[in-house]
């Protein structure tokens, strides 16, 4: 383990090194920058569930490398048993968190890439190549998302964002924060308003950490200040990420996103979703079919480990909500910005896959 101050331009939520997965432990940010090296695939499942690594595209990359770790661990078994146990591990990894489609997608891509392998050694090689491809292509996609998204913003834009859809949530650069970074580099951005994002404070702990290190003027607000800030007329656009986008354009993202989308419509502020095509799930027809993860009640009753509610109270803690497509002004992907009707635009965007 190492620690120290890291510039966000260099921030990597995760990297493959020395046959291990190295993760920046996001539960400790912003006060501690600490990496952990994982050698066994169940450790990655634990890291995903405990949010040491989080954010849809980063979960995909972590899942892909977890499959490589599983293959490394199982390689000495007879080939039939190796294949069977690897498939079981892949299923467990894909199910570690249910809402972000990138996780199951990346595990499935990785397993498919190695399906014709004739030995454990060949399997490991093919799995690793695929995981590295997923990682590299995610960074490339984020830069393209940044370019397409920045085009939609006016000069001197103030952008509101929710949760963390940055370098920390991806293989690098970020989706919503990719749009913000590109607009900043182009001299188009005045500043960012980040919502704190209860209960786990990804906005307060992670987004502000990333953006302030890049020197991007950032103002943190509590979630409940969003309505009056939008009413003030100072916000040019809201840009958020996504965990799963259904074929009809309904968007699952961090809890609170739906409320912001409704507020955006009420105040005539464009509401943009920035996500790679790997987050678009054409097999899911509408948002009603998306499984929304419910997390432990302690995240709400004892935020940051400090008790804030009586023991007896009932708690409901959905980690995500689904924003109906009618509230989404555009879905910004690496293949361009798609608009309604999303069934048509997303399907044709997916067909144009290079």
In this chain, which stretch among 52-60, 148-156, 181-189, 300-308 interacts with ligand MRU, using CB under 6 A?
Answer: 52-60
- Tell me the DSSP string of 292-339: PPB--THHHHSGGG---S-TT-----BSEEEE-GGG-SEEEETTEEE-
Closest by CA position to 79, among listed 40, 122, 109: 122
- Out of 43, 138, 214, 243, the residue judged to bind ligand MRU by CB under 6 A: 243
Q: Rounded to the nearest whole angstrom, what is the least distance from the CB of residue 257 to ligand MRU in the complex?
A: 7
Structure letter (DSSP) for residue 238: E
Binding ligand MRU by CB under 6 A: which of 21, 113, 141, 163? Answer: 163
Footprint of ligand MRU on residues 80-109 (CB under 6 A)?
100
> For residue 109, which of 125, 131, 83 has the smallest C-alpha distance?
131
Cβ distance to ligand MRU smaller for residue 237 or 240:
240
Site for ligand MRU in 266-325 (CB under 6 A): 319
167 is an interface residue for ligand MRU by CB under 6 A: no
Task: Give the residue numbers marked as catalytic.
Answer: 243
Based on the shown chain and the rule CB under 6 A, indicate whether residue 110 belongs to the binding site for ligand MRU.
no
241 binds ligand MRU (CB under 6 A): yes
In the block, tokens 């260099």 appear at 10
- Least distance CB 86 / ligand MRU (angstroms): 26
For residue 169, state whether it binds ligand MRU (rule: CB under 6 A).
Answer: yes
Query: Does the footprint of ligand MRU cover residue 60 (CB under 6 A)?
Result: no
Q: 59 vs 109, which CB is nearer to ligand MRU? A: 59
Q: Is 63 in the site for ligand MRU (CB under 6 A)?
A: no
Please say whether the beta carbons of 244 and 252 come within 8 A: yes
* Cis status, amide bond into 265, omega within 30 of 0: no
Dig out the tokens for 320 from the structure: 């995500």
Q: For the chain, how far is it from start to end, CA to CA, in angstroms?
A: 39
List of residues 6+ apart from 62 with CB closer than 8 A: 14, 21, 23, 44, 47, 48, 53, 103
**Does residue 175 bind ligand MRU (CB under 6 A)?**
yes
Handedness of CA 196, 199, 205, 211 (dihedral sign): negative
Q: What minimum distance in Å lies between the beta carbon of 202 and ligand MRU?
A: 5
The encoded tokens of residue 47 equal: 């890291």
- Determine contact, residues 226/149, Cβ cutoff 8 Å: no
Compare residues 27 and 347 and give the one whose CB is closer to ligand MRU: 27
Nearer to ligand MRU, 142 or 236 (CB): 142
- The region of 9-17, 51-59, 75-83, 211-219 touching ligand MRU under the rule CB under 6 A is 51-59
Minimal CB distance residue for ligand MRU? 241
Please give the Cα distance from 25 to 32 (Å, whole number): 9
Tell me if 182 contacts ligand MRU by CB under 6 A. Answer: no
Q: Which of 12, 38, 55, 273 binds ligand MRU (CB under 6 A)?
A: 55
Out of 68, 131, 165, 325, point to the residue binding ligand MRU (CB under 6 A).
165
Q: Which string of DSSP letters, residue by residue, matches 244-290? A: EEETTS-EEEETTHHHHHHHHHHTT--EEEE--GGGEETTS-SGGGP
Where does this chain touch ligand MRU (CB under 6 A) — which range of 120-128, 165-173, 281-289, 329-337?
165-173
> Which residues contribute to the site for ligand MRU (CB under 6 A)?
54-57, 100, 163, 165, 169-170, 175, 202, 240-243, 253-254, 319
């Amino acid at each position: 383990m190492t620690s120290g101050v890291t510039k966000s331009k260099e921030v990597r939520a995760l990297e493959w090194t020395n046959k291990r997965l190295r993760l920046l432990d996001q539960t400790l940010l912003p006060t501690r920058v600490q990496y952990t090296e994982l050698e066994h695939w169940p450790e990655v499942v634990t890291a995903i569930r405990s949010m040491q690594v989080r954010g849809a595209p980063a979960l995909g990359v972590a899942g892909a490398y977890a499959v490589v770790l599983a293959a490394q661990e199982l390689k000495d078994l007879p080939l039939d048993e190796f294949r069977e146990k690897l498939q079981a591990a892949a299923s467990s990894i894909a199910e570690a968190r249910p809402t972000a489609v990138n996780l199951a997608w990346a595990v499935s891509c990785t397993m498919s890439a190695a399906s014709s392998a004739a030995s454990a050694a060949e399997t490991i090689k093919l799995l690793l190549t695929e995981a590295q491809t997923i990682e590299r292509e995610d960074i490339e996609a984020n830069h393209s998302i940044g370019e397409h998204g920045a085009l939609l913003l006016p000069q001197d834009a103030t952008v509101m964002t929710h949760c963390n859809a940055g370098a920390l949530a991806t293989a690098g650069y970020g989706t919503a924060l990719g749009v913000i970074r590109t607009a900043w580099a182009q001299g188009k951005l005045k500043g960012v308003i980040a919502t704190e994002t209860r209960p786990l404070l990804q906005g307060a702990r992670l987004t502000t950490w990333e953006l302030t290190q890049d020197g991007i003027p950032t103002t943190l607000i509590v979630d409940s200040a969003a309505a009056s800030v939008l009413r003030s007329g100072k916000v040019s656009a809201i840009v958020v990420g996504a965990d799963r986008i259904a074929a009809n354009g309904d968007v699952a993202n961090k809890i609170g996103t739906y409320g912001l989308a409704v507020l955006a419509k009420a105040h005539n502020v464009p509401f943009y979703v920035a996500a790679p095509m790997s987050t678009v799930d054409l097999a899911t027809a509408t948002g009603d079919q998306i499984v929304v993860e419910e997390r432990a009640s302690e995240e709400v009753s004892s935020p940051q480990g400090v008790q804030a509610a009586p023991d007896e109270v009932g708690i409901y803690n959905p980690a995500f909500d689904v924003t109906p497509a009618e509230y989404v002004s555009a879905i910004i992907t690496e293949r361009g910005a798609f608009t309604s009707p999303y069934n048509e635009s997303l399907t044709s965007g997916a067909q144009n896959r290079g």
